[in-house]
């Protein structure tokens, strides 16, 4: 669906997201052109258009929501829209080229998933084909919603996933083996750390290996003699110390027909994986250089002065004798006479001396 002509400018859309009442409420006012979630680093390809249906609700009325990546605006049917005064006019190219005229806009509450509610302004008109709600890219980009057709899911910004209506049928969900960092890891420039892949799966050779990367570090796979992935190597490719946060997923093993959950995952043998190998080669030192630097560091520690001053003592050559100590006499105790009265008179029995 695309906009054919507009007689009046479209008002600014305001999207506000809320969470469940039992949690801290979060609200966002998105400006035109703002991007959220996955769309912050990715652009919308106008040539790639797809349509998906998910279960949702409008004003707590359960209905099917149509997500159209080829539509640039959002629209709901007259049956779900509240009555109101006309706020503009919009002519749309609808399904199968049918012209749709929208003459009003209203503010609606649309619920996706279990707890996320979006409040936004949409156009009102008959969509056709029995569709009540159509959400275009102006909603998906601003709300951070993306379609995963291979997995048959809709992904929200907090990685909450909603199954598509009529998605692909699978006999099983597939296996996934993750290798993560369990504690904070600091890497010096050019330094690396090996993370073993521990799993009880008997046939790791039949699974695909996907490795991730960060802004300052990349991951390479270490294979055994039988071409089975046994560990991954996390390498700092920057000129500054890099930190890998706990629970960071550095590699994922999946079945051949599955994709990993997340971004920046590539497989060994791909062009992007080869580029990461070049980055590691350019920003790390050779084993000979590492050995030389380690030897220099150990020599510096051996010849370095002590952290505190240590006095030097002569080496004894015979049994030392204790130095005789002279007898000490305690000083004589002096008699203390009582002090006179405050009036200055000496009491009886205390004549002046």
* pLDDT tens per residue across span 169-194: 655 556 788 888 888 889 988 888 99
Distance from C-alpha of 209 to C-alpha of 256, rounded to nearest angstrom: 9
Residues 153 and 192 in one domain: no
- What is the pLDDT at residue 186? 92
> Does residue 27 lie within any of the structural domains?
yes
Among the candidates 264, 283, 302, a domain finishes at 283
The pLDDT > 70 percentage for the chain reads: 67
Q: Are 1 and 68 in contact (CB under 8 A)?
A: yes
Distance from C-alpha of 66 to C-alpha of 55, rounded to nearest angstrom: 9
Cα–Cα nearest to 81, from 111, 114, 103: 103
pLDDT: which is higher, 150 or 125: 125
- Sheet with 229-236, strands from edge to edge, namely 192-196, 229-236, 217-223
Residues 23 and 132 in one domain: yes
Residues 245 and 97 in one domain: no
Mean per-residue pLDDT of the chain: 75
How far does Cα 117 stand from its chain's mean position? 22
- What is the pLDDT at residue 299? 92
Among the candidates 283, 315, 340, a domain finishes at 283
Three-state SS at 154: strand
Among the candidates 131, 163, 195, a domain finishes at 163
Residues 126 and 217 in one domain: no
* Statement: residue 208 has pLDDT above 80: yes
Q: How many domains does the chain divide into?
A: 2
Q: What is the CATH number of the domain that holds 125?
A: 2.40.70.10
- What is the pLDDT at residue 348? 54
Residue 220 — very low, low, confident or very high, per pLDDT cuts 50/70/90?
Answer: very high
pLDDT: which is higher, 340 or 262: 262
pLDDT tens sequence across 14-63: 433 333 344 433 455 555 566 666 666 666 665 566 777 877 878 778 88
pLDDT tens sequence across 241-272: 999 988 888 888 888 777 787 778 898 988 99
Residues 8 and 59 in one domain: yes
Cα–Cα nearest to 218, from 198, 244, 197, 180: 244
- Which range of residues forms the domain containing residue 83? 2-163
Cα–Cα nearest to 18, from 86, 130, 99, 115: 115
Q: Are 44 and 142 in contact (CB under 8 A)?
A: no
The pLDDT > 90 percentage for the chain reads: 9
Total-model pTM: 0.47
């Amino acid at each position: 669906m695309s906009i054919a002509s507009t007689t009046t400018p479209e008002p600014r859309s305001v999207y506000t997201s809320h969470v469940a009442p039992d949690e801290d409420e979060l609200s966002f006012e998105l400006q035109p052109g703002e991007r959220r979630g996955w769309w912050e680093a990715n652009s919308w390809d106008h040539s790639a258009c797809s349509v998906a249906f998910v279960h949702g609700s409008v004003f707590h009325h359960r209905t099917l929501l149509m997500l159209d990546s080829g539509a640039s605006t959002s629209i709901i049917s007259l049956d779900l829209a509240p009555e109101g005064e006309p706020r503009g006019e919009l002519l749309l190219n609808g399904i199968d080229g049918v012209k749709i005229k929208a003459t009003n806009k209203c503010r609606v509450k649309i619920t996706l998933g279990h707890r996320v509610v979006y409040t936004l302004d949409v156009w009102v008109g008959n969509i056709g084909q029995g569709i009540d709600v159509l959400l275009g890219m102006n909603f998906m980009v601003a709300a951070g919603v993306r379609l995963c057709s291979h997995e048959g899911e809709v992904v929200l910004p907090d990685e909450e996933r909603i199954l598509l209506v009529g998605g692909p049928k699978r006999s099983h969900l597939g296996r996934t083996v993750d290798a993560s960092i369990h504690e904070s890891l600091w890497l010096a420039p050019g330094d690396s750390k090996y993370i073993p892949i521990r799993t009880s799966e008997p046939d790791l050779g039949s699974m695909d290996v996907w490795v991730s990367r960060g802004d300052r570090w990349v991951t390479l796979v270490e294979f055994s003699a039988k071409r089975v992935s046994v560990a991954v190597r996390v390498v700092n490719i920057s000129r500054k110390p890099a930190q890998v946060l706990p629970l960071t997923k550095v590699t994922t093993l999946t079945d051949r027909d599955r994709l990993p959950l997340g971004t920046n995952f590539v497989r060994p043998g791909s062009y992007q994986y080869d580029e990461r190998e070049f980055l590691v080669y350019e920003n790390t030192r050779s084993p000979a250089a590492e050995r030389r630097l380690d030897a220099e560091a150990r020599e510096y520690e051996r010849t370095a002065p002590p952290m505190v001053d240590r006095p030097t003592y002569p080496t004894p050559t015979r049994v030392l004798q204790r130095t005789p100590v002279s007898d000490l006499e305690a000083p004589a105790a002096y008699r203390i006479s009582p002090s006179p009265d405050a009036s200055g008179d000496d009491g009886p029995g205390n004549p002046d001396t």
